[in-house]
Amino acid sequence: MNAVPLPDALPLPGPVWLFEFLLHLTFVLHLLAMNFLLGGSIIAVVERLRARRAPGTSVGAAGSAVDPHFALARWIETKLPVAMSVTVTLGVAPLLFVQALYGHLFYSSSVLMAWPWLSVIGLLLVTYSLVYRLSFGGDSIGGTQKILALLISFGLLTIAFLYVNNMTLSIRPEAWATKYLARPNGTSLNVDDPTFWPRLLHFVTAALAVMGMVLAVVGARRAQKGDEEGRSWLRLGAVWFVVPTLFQFVSGLWWLLRLDRAVMMQFMGQDMVMTLVFMASIFLPIFALVMIALSIKAERPFGLVHGSAHLLLLAIVGMVLVRHGVRVATLEPIFTTDTLQILPMWSVFAIFAVLLVVALVTTAWMVAQIARAPRAS
Amino acid sequence: MNYPVWDLPFAHGLLIAIIATLHVYVAHFAVGGGLYLVVVEHLARKRNDEALLGILQRHSRFFLLLTLVFGAMTGVGIWFTIGLINPAGTSALIRAFVWGWAIEWTFFVTEIAAAMVYYYGWKRLSPGKHLAVGWIYFIMAWLSMVVINGIISFQLTPGAWLETRNFWDGFFNPTYWSSLFARTFYAIALGGLFALWTASRSGGRDDRTERLQLVRFSGAWALIGVVLTAVGTWWWWNDVPADIRALTQGDLPITSAVTQWTPLLTGLLALLVIAGPLALPRLVNRPVAFVILLAGLAAMGSAEWAREGIRKPWVIYEYIYSNGVLATEVDALREAGIVANGVWIEPALADDRIAHGKQIFRAACQNCHAETGYNGMQSRVQHWDEAFAASMVALLEHTRRRMPPWVGTEDEAAAVAAYLMTLKPATIAPLSSGEAVFEVRCSPCHSVDAFRPINALVEGLSAEELLEYMGDMGSDYMPAFTGTDEEAALLATYLDSLDDAPATAATPTSTAEEGAR
B499 pLDDT band, cuts 50/70/90, is low
Burial A282-299 (b: 16+ CB within 10 A, else e): bebbeebbebbeebbebe
Residue B502, pLDDT above cutoff 50 = no
Of residues B2, B79, B106, nearest to A5 (C-beta): B2
For residue B136, give Cα distances in angstroms to A59, A271, A365: 37, 47, 11
- In chain B, what is the straight-line distance between the N-terminal and C-terminal CA atoms, in Å? 45
CB B259 within 8 A of CB B248: yes
CA distance B514 to B464: 9
B455 pLDDT band, cuts 50/70/90, is confident
Q: Could you say which residues from 109 to 148 on chain A have a Cβ atom under 8 Å away from some Cβ of chain B? A: 110-112, 114, 117-118, 120-121, 124-125, 128-129, 132
CB distance A103–B91 less than 8 Å?
Answer: yes
pLDDT for position B205 = 46
Burial B490-517 (b: 16+ CB within 10 A, else e): bbbbbbbebbeeeebeebeeebbbebbe
How high is the ipTM of this complex?
A: 0.94
Mean pLDDT, rounded, for B372-396: 93
B248 pLDDT band, cuts 50/70/90, is confident
CA distance A309 to A303: 10
Asked if A239 has any chain B CB less than 8 Å from its own CB, the reply is no
Best of B99, B140, B371 to disrupt the A interface by mutation (most A CBs within 10 Å)?
Answer: B99
Residue B187, pLDDT above cutoff 90 = yes
CB B225 within 8 A of CB B269: no
pLDDT per residue rounded down to tens, chain A (377 residues)? 888 899 999 999 999 999 999 999 999 999 999 999 999 999 999 999 888 764 434 444 444 457 788 889 999 999 999 999 999 999 999 999 999 999 999 999 999 999 999 999 999 999 999 999 999 887 777 788 899 999 999 999 999 999 999 999 999 999 999 999 999 999 999 999 999 999 999 999 999 999 999 999 999 999 888 888 888 899 999 999 999 999 999 999 999 999 999 999 999 999 999 999 999 999 999 999 999 999 988 888 999 999 999 999 999 999 999 999 999 999 999 999 999 999 999 999 999 999 999 999 999 999 999 998 876 54
Asked if B110 has any chain A CB less than 8 Å from its own CB, the reply is yes
Mean pLDDT, rounded, for B432-453: 89
Of residues B112, B124, B136, nearest to A373 (C-beta): B124
pLDDT for position A56 = 39
CB B75 within 8 A of CB A328: no
Kindly report whether the peptide bond that precedes residue B313 is cis, defined as omega within 30 degrees of 0: yes
Asked if A180 has any chain B CB less than 8 Å from its own CB, the reply is yes
Which H, E and C letters describe B471-499, residue by residue?
Answer: HCCCCCCCCCCCCCHHHHHHHHHHHHHHC
CB distance B83–A92 less than 8 Å?
Answer: no
Asked if A99 has any chain B CB less than 8 Å from its own CB, the reply is yes
Looking at the complex, report in whole angstroms how far the Cα of residue B50 sits from the nearest Cα belonging to chain A.
17
**Could you tell me which chain B residue has the CA closest to the CA of A348?**
B99
B209 pLDDT band, cuts 50/70/90, is confident
pLDDT for position B501 = 44
Q: Could you say which residues from 385 to 444 on chain B have a Cβ atom under 8 Å away from some Cβ of chain A? A: none
Q: Strands, DSSP E only, in B317-463?
A: 320-321
pLDDT for position B504 = 39
CA distance A90 to B102: 12
Residues linked to residue B370 through DSSP beta bridges, in sequence order: B376
Contacts 24+ apart (CB under 8 A), A138-143: A138/A74, A138/A77, A138/A78, A139/A59, A139/A60, A139/A74, A140/A59, A140/A60, A141/A48, A141/A51, A141/A53, A141/A59, A141/A70
Best of A134, A366, A372, A375 to disrupt the B interface by mutation (most B CBs within 10 Å)?
Answer: A366
CA distance A94 to A343: 21
CA distance B232 to B238: 10
Asked if B362 has any chain A CB less than 8 Å from its own CB, the reply is yes
CB distance A1–B347 less than 8 Å?
Answer: yes
> The dihedral of CA A147, A232, A80, A60: what is its sign?
positive
Which residues make Cβ contacts (< 8 Å) with residue A94, sequence separation at least 6? A23, A26, A27, A30
Q: Coil, strand or helix: which one is B321? A: strand
Range from A244-258, B22-36, B191-205, B273-287 carrying the lowest mean pLDDT = B191-205
pLDDT for position B457 = 84
Range from A247-256, B315-324, B469-478 carrying the lowest mean pLDDT = B469-478
pLDDT tens for each residue of B360-379: 999 999 999 999 999 999 99
pLDDT for position A62 = 44
pLDDT for position B1 = 87
Q: What is the rounded (10 degree) CA torsion for B498, B501, B503, B507?
A: 20
Give the Cβ contact number of residue A218 at 10 Å.
17
Q: Could you say which residues from 192 to 231 on chain A have a Cβ atom under 8 Å away from some Cβ of chain B? A: none
What share of chain B has pLDDT > 90, as a percent? Answer: 70
pLDDT for position B466 = 87
How many CA atoms, within 13 angstroms, populate the side-chain half-sphere of residue B228? Answer: 17
Q: Which of B114, B117, B122, B119 is nearest to B53 (CA)?
A: B122
Residue B273, pLDDT above cutoff 80 = yes
**Residue B212: Cβ-neighbour burial (10 angstroms; 0-12, 13-18, 19+):** middle
Burial B323-344 (b: 16+ CB within 10 A, else e): bbbbbebeeebeeebbbebbbb
CB B178 within 8 A of CB B235: yes
CB distance B105–A177 less than 8 Å?
Answer: no
Of residues A3, A14, A132, nearest to B343 (C-beta): A3
**Could you tell me which chain B residue has the CA closest to the CA of A342?**
B95
CA distance A335 to A6: 9
Return the ∠ at Cα B412 (arms to B410 and B416), rounded to 5°: 115
* Mean pLDDT across chain B: 90
**Could you tell me which chain B residue has the CA closest to the CA of A84?**
B69
Residue B255, pLDDT above cutoff 90 = no
What is the model's pTM? 0.92
Mean pLDDT, rounded, for B90-105: 97
Residues of B in contact with A177 (CB under 8 A): 346
**Could you tell me which chain B residue has the CA closest to the CA of A128?**
B69
CB B318 within 8 A of CB B80: no
Mean pLDDT, rounded, for B255-269: 92
Residues of B in contact with A96 (CB under 8 A): 94, 98, 101-102, 105
Looking at the complex, report in whole angstroms how far the Cα of residue B353 sits from the nearest Cα belonging to chain A.
16
CB distance A107–B3 less than 8 Å?
Answer: yes
CB distance A348–B124 less than 8 Å?
Answer: no
CB distance B114–A366 less than 8 Å?
Answer: yes
Give the Cβ contact number of residue B309 at 10 Å.
20
B402 pLDDT band, cuts 50/70/90, is confident
pLDDT for position B235 = 97
Residues of B in contact with A11 (CB under 8 A): 95
CB A34 within 8 A of CB A84: no
Burial B368-397 (b: 16+ CB within 10 A, else e): bbbbeeebbbeebbebbeeebbbbbbbbbe
CA distance A87 to A103: 22
Q: Which of A316, A315, A295 is nearest to A306 (CA)?
A: A295
Asked if B275 has any chain A CB less than 8 Å from its own CB, the reply is no
B202 pLDDT band, cuts 50/70/90, is low
Of residues B90, B140, B345, nearest to A1 (C-beta): B345
CA distance B398 to B477: 8
